[in-house]
């Protein structure tokens, strides 16, 4: 069920070759406050350029999102196709163009089949419903195997407020400020500056800490809508809502990692004892994106030398003879060399599990950081070798 005042729908309009759902529409019955984060990739898709500009108003009523075509690297035609899809949505819903945001995901470099979107919008709008979010979440999937949804409710002074989030992403994941696509909706009233502040903080604890392959998309977008339809203002319950928002964002982020292309392992990499948290972050992501580390984990090979080599190549000053590493809480490295208590059989057996923990202690300071990552399997290569087909 949607937060009060929100309706959603998702259908197949013919963008995807396999006939699966590929067009989603979410509408607020009243103007909603909105904040957004977007890819830091300098190559930005047309919908990112459009929505990033529109969102400066801080108000929106509708979001139109498609999968199957990224509408990226499509030049002036891409911008024109966004404009056409927005105008068609405006006509269909009877709301101003300025109140409509857009997002896309899919193959880069192909033109958006905007005629199919224009033709499908009347049918899509008729299906709008508070129960339509699962269809909408399915319509933004690409190589995802399951729709990703998370929801929470909270009672504040006898009134219920709701929060619902959806996300898509399975490959091309190394978010920088955002993830592939993530949309969050609440019926709470939240002032615009606070809305963005909450989104930034939540993002830093969730989407910004995941990686599948170290790749940053041209289309990354995170949007947070708050329409106030519950009749409750955030001022009356800021701490509980903040916690709820972060829970939902973290659940969606971890859902992306669990559904990663070809994944057989979910890996949490923790770096502590760094001089600064920034240093810890650089090292954690360097380990998390190392093809050698990821393939060793896929092969259940406790090749700790791969981890040592990666952390030493993160562009951060380290003292190798102070480094300590534990895998699944088992001793592996101490003082930069193999720990005397290292038991290869035990470590190797622990790598057969689907959840892996790698903890690196640099013993240089108080800085720490963690990220969620995956292994790198044959299936990942297969999926991406045939992505456009």
Catalytic residue list: 179
182 membership: H or E segment, kind and range: strand 181-186
- Give the Cα separation of 209 and 338 in Å (integer): 29
Alpha carbon of residue 282 to chain centroid: 19
Q: Report the alpha-carbon distance of residue 64 to residue 10 in Å, rounded.
A: 10
Which helix or strand (DSSP H or E) is residue 270 part of? strand 266-274
What tokens were used for 69?
Answer: 């075509």
Please tell me whether residue 218 adopts helix, strand or coil conformation. coil
CB atoms within 10 A of CB 30: 12
Is the four-CA dihedral 299, 303, 309, 311 of positive or negative sign? positive
102 membership: H or E segment, kind and range: strand 100-104
Between the alpha carbon of residue 56 and those of residues 35, 37, 157, 277, the distances in Å are 8, 11, 32, 31
Strands 330-334 and 324-327: antiparallel
Give the Cα separation of 216 and 142 in Å (integer). 16
DSSP string, 115-171: HHHHHHHHHHHHT-BTTTHHHHHHHT-SS-SS-EEEEEEEEETTEEEEEEEEEE-SS
Residue 371 · residue 269 · CB < 8 Å: yes
Give which of 234, 226, 242 is closest to 33, Cα–Cα. Answer: 226
38 vs 41: CA distance, rounded Å: 9
Cβ contact 39:216 at 8 Å: yes
């Amino acid at each position: 069920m949607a937060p009060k005042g929100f309706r959603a729908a998702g259908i197949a309009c013919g963008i995807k070759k396999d006939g699966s759902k590929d067009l989603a529409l979410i509408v607020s019955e009243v103007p909603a406050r909105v904040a957004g984060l977007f890819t830091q990739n300098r190559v930005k898709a047309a919908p990112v350029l459009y929505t990033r500009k529109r969102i400066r108003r801080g108000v929106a009523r509708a979001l139109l999102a498609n999968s199957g075509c990224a509408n990226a690297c499509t030049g002036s035609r891409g911008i024109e196709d966004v404009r056409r899809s927005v105008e068609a949505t405006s006509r269909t819903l009877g709301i101003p163009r300025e109140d409509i945001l857009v997002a896309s995901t899919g193959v880069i470099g192909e033109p958006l089949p905007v005629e199919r979107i224009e033709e499908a919008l009347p049918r899509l709008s008729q299906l709008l419903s508070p129960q339509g979010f699962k269809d909408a979440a399915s319509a933004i999937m690409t190589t995802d195997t399951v729709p990703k949804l998370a929801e929470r409710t909270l009672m504040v002074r006898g009134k219920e407020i709701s929060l619902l989030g959806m996300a898509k992403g399975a490959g091309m994941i190394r978010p920088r400020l955002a993830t592939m696509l993530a949309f969050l909706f609440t019926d709470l009233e939240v002032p615009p500056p606070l809305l963005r502040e909450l989104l930034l903080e939540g993002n830093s604890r969730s989407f910004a800490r995941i990686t599948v392959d170290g790749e940053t998309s041209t289309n990354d977008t995170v949007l947070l809508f708050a329409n106030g339809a519950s009749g409750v203002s955030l001022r009356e319950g800021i701490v509980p809502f903040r916690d709820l928002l972060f829970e939902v964002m973290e659940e969606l982020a971890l859902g992306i990692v669990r559904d990663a292309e070809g994944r057989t392992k979910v890996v949490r990499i923790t770096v502590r004892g760094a001089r600064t948290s920034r240093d810890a972050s650089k090292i954690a992501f360097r380990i998390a994106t190392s093809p050698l580390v990821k393939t060793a984990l896929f092969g259940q090979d406790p090749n700790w030398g791969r981890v040592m080599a990666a952390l030493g190549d993160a562009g951060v000053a380290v003292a190798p003879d102070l480094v300590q590493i534990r895998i699944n809480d088992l001793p592996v490295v101490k003082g930069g060399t193999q720990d005397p208590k290292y038991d290869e059989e035990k470590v190797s057996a622990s790598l057969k599990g689907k959840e892996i923990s790698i903890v690196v202690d640099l013993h240089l300071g108080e800085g720490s950081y963690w990220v969620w990552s995956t292994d790198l399997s044959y299936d990942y290569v297969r999926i991406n070798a045939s992505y456009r087909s």
